[in-house]
């Protein structure tokens, strides 16, 4: 392992591409084994990155453990920790347009979306967790116990080394959801980026270092999930895992965490989210809302509203309007501010989506629009916005997460039937309800098995509200007022105000007191 310390990237004389390195124990770590980051819009190389391995994960965990045990971050006053988070947020804000452009180039999301979800949102989240560090009750008086002269305190203490494993779709935002509360609580962190989108996390490391975060407290390791991610999940010195990804991989992470050292685990996993339109909804608003629900980032969001439930009486009119409005979606260069739909992340993902469209046809669904690569496209990983009608909830396309721009439309006759269809799923991450009556929508929301329910909107992952899923959509919650709870351990410290046990009335037959010691 060789190291340099100037910056996360440098121009390679061999390729003339930016070359990104890992960040371990305050050092920028390069490797001979490099891989190429490719634009999903053009398939052109945009940078190279060091390929991390198990030895890099071990070095990062060792650095994190050392700094935690030394207390160089853990033992700082919470306000000092908050100041570092805020300084990093300020530095990122000054670079928000640059961060958005880079995120669009490596991940394919349209520029407006990258600016919001890979720049503005993580900056706001960092500031939110800084506020939580100041306000959090790391120690609070315990209750006086009636009848016993006894009191105490309840402490919330940092867990130790926390590993964060994030996917490629919103890499910086989802990383901050884990890094922010972990650092605010005083932990040390190892972040494993997705190999397709490591740049934002490495730039975050750069700003943390400039803001004064002690070396070793925050580390970024690249590499694939089957080696580096799996190793972190079993590493005996990692005490907490925060993971976002598929339900299939999440189960493996949870199993590895349990069988290694019973790590604490937070899992934010897949979804097949229902989006229910009630018969009194404003159709124009609901149509545009349904498009936003399933098409944001080309459907590459775990909470996407990919099952649209429509009353039978309005189904045909609604679908006709939906297909018409999809004609206004602009597919093209994601760096063009006018573009509203970008590519999928990879050729593998594009082919997976197209296979599901063919499966839908075989199952008896109708392709109302889309379902193919846009005509004339000869580079990049593109699929047209696709609407499937005549879908029933037993079809695989209605039950399995496709992770692409594909909407399944299902009919219902009664609200009770709509709720039953919505809840008939292995997932329970999110849901939407559209209605002119907030009371009616709230009544539906209360009956839905989902961690987040949005009324007359979708994708509202507000930092003040906890986010996570029911059933196979995950374990635990991120964001919200109690976010630091997932990165602290409660400790009860009880103080006896009457230490002479001979005067206690426990109903025990105490032995004869021993003679006093000299």
Positions annotated as catalytic residues are 268
Q: How far is CA 196 from the centre of its chain?
A: 16
Tokens of 188: 């040390």
Question: What gap in Å lies between CA 350 and CA 346, rounded to an integer?
Answer: 6
Helix or strand (DSSP H, E) at 207: helix 199-211
Sort residue 160 into left (φ over 0), alpha (ψ -120 to 50) or beta: left
Total H helices, total E strands in the chain: 15, 25
Phi then psi for residue 408, to 5 deg, are: -100, 125
Q: What count of other Cβ atoms lies within 10 Å of the Cβ of residue 44?
A: 11
Q: In this structure, what token pair is assigned to residue 253?
A: 């992470």
Query: 171-184 and 121-135 helices cross at what angle (nearest 10)?
Result: 10
What span, in angstroms and rounded, lies between the C-alpha atoms of 298 and 308? Answer: 16
Kindly give the pairing relationship between strand 430-434 and strand 274-277.
parallel
Whole-angstrom distance, CA of residue 364 vs CA of residue 325: 25
Rounded to a whole number, what is the largest CA-CA distance in the chain?
96
| Rounded Cα–Cα distance for residues 355 and 493 (Å) | 58
Spatial contact of 415 and 435, defined as CB atoms under 8 Å apart: no
Count CA within 13 A, CB hemisphere, residue 23: 30
- Cβ neighbors of 350 (< 8 A, separation 6 or more) are 343, 344, 373, 381, 382, 383, 404
Buried b (16+ CB within 10 A) or exposed e, 162-186: bbbbbbbbbbbbbbbbbbbbbbbbb
């Amino acid at each position: 392992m060789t190291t340099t310390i100037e910056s996360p990237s440098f121009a390679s004389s061999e390729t003339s591409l930016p070359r990104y390195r890992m960040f371990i124990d305050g050092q920028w770590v390069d490797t001979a084994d490099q891989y190429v980051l490719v634009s999903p819009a053009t398939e052109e190389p945009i940078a190279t990155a060091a390929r991390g391995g198990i030895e890099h994960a071990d070095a990062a965990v060792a650095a994190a453990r050392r700094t935690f045990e030394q207390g160089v971050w853990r033992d700082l006053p919470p306000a000092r920790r908050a100041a570092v988070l805020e300084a990093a947020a300020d530095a990122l804000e000054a670079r928000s347009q640059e961060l958005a452009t880079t995120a669009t180039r490596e991940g394919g999301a349209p520029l407006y979306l990258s600016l919001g979800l890979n720049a503005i949102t993580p900056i706001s989240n960092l500031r939110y967790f800084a506020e939580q560090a100041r306000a959090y009750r790391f120690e609070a008086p315990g209750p006086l116990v009636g009848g016993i002269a006894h009191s105490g305190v309840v402490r919330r203490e940092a867990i130790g080394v926390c590993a964060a494993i994030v996917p490629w779709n919103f890499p910086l935002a989802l990383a901050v959801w884990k890094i922010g509360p972990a650092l605010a609580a005083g932990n040390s962190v190892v972040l494993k980026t997705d190999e397709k989108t490591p740049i934002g996390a490495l730039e975050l490391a750069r700003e943390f270092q400039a803001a004064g975060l002690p070396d070793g407290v925050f580390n970024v390791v690249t590499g694939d999930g089957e080696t580096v991610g799996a190793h972190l999940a079993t590493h005996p010195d990692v005490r907490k895992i925060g993971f976002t990804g598929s339900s299939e991989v999440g189960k493996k992470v949870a199993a590895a965490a349990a069988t290694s050292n019973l790590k604490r685990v937070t899992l934010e996993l897949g979804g097949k989210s229902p989006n229910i339109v009630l018969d009194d909804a404003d159709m124009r608003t609901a149509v545009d809302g349904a498009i936003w629900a399933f098409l944001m980032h080309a459907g590459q969001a775990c909470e996407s509203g990919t099952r649209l439930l429509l009353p039978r009486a309005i189904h045909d009119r609604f679908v006709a309007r939906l297909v018409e409005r999809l004609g206004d979606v602009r597919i093209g260069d994601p760096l063009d501010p006018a573009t509203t739909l970008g590519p999928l992340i990879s050729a593998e993902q594009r082919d997976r989506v197209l296979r599901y469209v063919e499966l839908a046809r075989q199952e008896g669904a109708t392709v109302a629009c889309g379902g193919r690569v846009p005509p004339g496209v000869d580079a990049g990983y593109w699929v047209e916005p696709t609407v499937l009608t005549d879908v029933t909830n037993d079809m695989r396309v209605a039950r399995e997460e496709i992770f692409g721009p594909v909407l399944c439309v299902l009919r219902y006759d009664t609200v009770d039937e709509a709720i039953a269809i919505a809840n008939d799923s292995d997932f329970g991450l999110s849901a939407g309800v559209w209605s002119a009556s907030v009371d009616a929508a709230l009544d539906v929301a209360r009956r839905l098995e989902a961690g987040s329910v949005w009324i007359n909107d979708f994708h509202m992952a507000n930092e003040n509200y906890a986010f996570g899923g029911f059933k196979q959509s995950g374990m635990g919650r991120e964001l919200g007022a109690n976010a630091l709870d997932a990165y602290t351990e409660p400790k009860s410290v009880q103080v006896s105000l009457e230490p002479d046990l001979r005067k206690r009335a426990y109903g025990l037959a105490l032995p004869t007191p021993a003679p006093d010691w000299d």
